[in-house]
Amino acid sequence: MNKLNRRDFLKTSIFTTASLSLLPALGADNTARNEQRRTVASRITGANSDVRFAVVGFGGRGTSHINDLREVPGTRLVALCDVDRGILDREARKCLDRGEQIETYTDIRKLLESKNIDVVGFATPNHWHALGAIWAMQAGKDVYVEKPVSHNVWEGRRIVEVARQLNRIVQTGTQSRSSSGIREGIAWVREGHIGKILRARGFCYKRRPSIGKADGPQPIPPEIDYDLWCGPAPKEPLMRKKLHYDWHWVWPTGNGDLGNQGIHQMDMARWALGETALSPRVLSVGGRFGYVDDGTTPNTMIVFHDYPTAPLIFEVRGLPSSANSGNMDKYRGVDVGVVVDCEGGAMTIPTGSSAKILDKDGAEIKKFSGNSSHFANFIDAVRSRKFSDLTADILEGHLSSALCHTGNISYRLGNTQQPGQIHDAVKGNPDLAEVLGRMEEHLAANAVDLKKTPATLGAVLKMNPKTERFIGNRKANQQLTRDYRKPFVVPARI
């Protein structure tokens, strides 16, 4: 750890960072931890006390954590942590230029030892979300964790269990939950004003170009602690050209665009259905089309969650509307968003904070708008100590993240099939057949021949929503968790 003022900072361009060590607080006795939690909760709820926050990981979304939390009255940034010393340098300089005194870390375990931190925001790669959140809660901190909250189903449920056991406040970074417009629109539709819900559709039509093809192991930038970067994931040679961000498109660290951008829309679609558990059946179809690169996650995908209320159908498209086009496809005006089909019309939720109600002819008849700060809601709940005050409690985040994971598991357990075979497999499901037909038209417009580059037909997986285990499929259940690399192990018990 370094506590820096501007004069000290200007003496060096790269920080001298803390040495690695296991977090002593994680091994402390229960009495000490309970006392620490009582002390933190008492201090936070004091009328004149600032909520002191730290942010871990800010190569992308984490900068919003820094800026948006700073805007919430009664908060104070006190620490930053990133395994990339170049990124740490950049953000710390901004803080020091504003006259803020902060502590800096490269090792999250050292940060969590600090008694000067009340809440921690996590915007690390996905494979660190659950472990970081759980370690922080064990150290007596409340947590704001980015989406998806987990890299697999089991560890997501563990965050929920630990949060309840330790009475910690944990907000999920699905900020649409703090939109009054979306909340009112969903409530209005669920009241039946345009008839029964027939299906909820989520869309992630977002351009994702090739990440390139590396010719062998790539060098790790010297400013990055690669052991810490890998954390719970296998520490393997870097086999892609860019370490940062492109981790989304490989399985050991990412979840594809289904778990990257798509988690937002998956969450809203499930919210609209009112479902509070995982789906009892899931099937996926897709592939990585249009280029050959080092990515392994699909860039084109359909996921069908067979809920009893109505199906939840999700589509991922990373290619443009057609070859050489700069535009993306849209479905009823939506490229990244949600469409809820009802007997008497539909609700569309495009990117933003509004919900539009359409009649059967597609004409807008009503609109709900309004938004509020997702971070302010988190801080309010930190002060009240009531997780029910959160708009996106960790349980909601877990369920929606897990729907992405189960869709990916279906895909990963599938096999490539010729178009006719896939049509035969879905012909008894008109909803799935319709979306498959549109996907094929989209790929054809991008010069993808599915006979030469066949799609993967995922495994049909049945799940017990209460236990969050698949029924009769050992391989699928193995993918509900992972082998963790010591000492970066998500604890089964605390």
**Cα distances (Å, whole numbers) of residue 415 to 127, 286, 410, 453, 458:** 26, 10, 10, 12, 7
Instruction: Give the position of tokens 């064990």.
Output: 138
Residue 4's pLDDT is what? 53
Nearest residue to 151 via CA among 211, 233, 265: 233
Residue 25's pLDDT is what? 40
d(CA 178, CA 42) in angstroms, rounded, equals 27
The tens digit of pLDDT for each residue in 31-51 reads: 445 555 555 555 555 445 899
Tell me the HSE value of 490 on the side-chain side, using a 13 A CA sphere.
27
The tens digit of pLDDT for each residue in 387-443 reads: 999 999 999 999 999 999 999 999 999 999 999 999 999 999 999 999 999 999 999
355 near 347, Cβ under 8 Å? yes
d(CA 275, CA 339) in angstroms, rounded, equals 16
Over the chain, what is the mean pLDDT? Answer: 92
Residue 351's pLDDT is what? 80
Instruction: Give the position of tokens 């709940």.
Output: 381
Which SS3 state, helix, strand or coil, does residue 94 take? helix
d(CA 88, CA 114) in angstroms, rounded, equals 18
Q: Work out the number of other CB atoms within 10 angstroms of the CB of residue 45.
A: 13
Residue 59's pLDDT is what? 80
Residue 20's pLDDT is what? 32
Bridge partners of 204, per DSSP, are: 316, 336
The tens digit of pLDDT for each residue in 79-109 reads: 999 999 999 999 999 999 999 999 999 999 9
Helix axes 430-445, 419-426, angle to 10 degrees: 160
DSSP 366-394: EEE-----HHHHHHHHHHHT-GGG-SSBH
Residue 24's pLDDT is what? 36
- Both tokens assigned to 208: 């994702």
Higher-confidence position of 453 and 60:
453
Instruction: Give the position of tokens 């778990």.
Output: 259
| Res 305 pLDDT > 60 | yes
Instruction: Give CA 87 to chain center in angstroms.
Output: 21
- Both tokens assigned to 341: 């089909």
**Cα distances (Å, whole numbers) of residue 332 to 151, 173, 350, 361:** 32, 27, 10, 11
The tens digit of pLDDT for each residue in 320-376 reads: 999 999 999 999 999 999 999 999 999 999 987 899 999 999 999 999 999 999 999
Q: Work out the number of other CB atoms within 10 angstroms of the CB of residue 237.
A: 11
d(CA 112, CA 343) in angstroms, rounded, equals 52
- Mean pLDDT, residues 206-231 taken together: 97
Residue 46's pLDDT is what? 46
Nearest residue to 37 via CA among 155, 162, 122: 162
Residue 271's pLDDT is what? 98
394 near 145, Cβ under 8 Å? yes
Higher-confidence position of 49 and 378:
378
- Mean pLDDT, residues 115-139 taken together: 98
